[in-house]
Amino acid sequence: MDPNFQLLLDEIKSVKTAVNGVESCVSAVETSLGSRIFAMDRSISDQFGRVEDAVQVFDDWRPSVDASVEELRSEVSTPRK
């Protein structure tokens, strides 16, 4: 076998090994990012759910507060007249 051809084959094997190493690193990064993105999405969803719950509480609470304020206004305005 031609020595130059053998050198070329050795270089190809070396490049292939390096590419395999890069592929495994990329795979690890993809896995890590995927789990981080999933965790962040879950956290945002949980926080958004809590905000929606708080909005519902205020929506339920507001009519009674508005009625109380209106009642106080009518009681305060009655002695003025």
pLDDT band at 80 (very low <50, low <70, confident <90, very high): low
Per-residue pLDDT tens digits for 34-79: 999 999 999 999 999 999 999 999 999 999 999 999 999 888 877 6
The reported pLDDT for the residue numbered 23 is 92
Would you state the torsion angle of the CA atoms of residues 68, 69, 75, 76, taken in this order, to the nearest 10 degrees? 150
The reported pLDDT for the residue numbered 3 is 84
Residue 13: pLDDT over 60: yes
pTM score over 0.75: no
User: How many Å apart are CA 26 and CA 14, to the nearest integer?
Assistant: 18
User: How many Å apart are CA 58 and CA 37, to the nearest integer?
Assistant: 31
The reported pLDDT for the residue numbered 2 is 85
C-alpha to C-alpha distances, 65 to 48, 49, 71, 75, 77, nearest whole angstrom: 25, 24, 10, 15, 18
User: How many Å apart are CA 22 and CA 66, to the nearest integer?
Assistant: 64
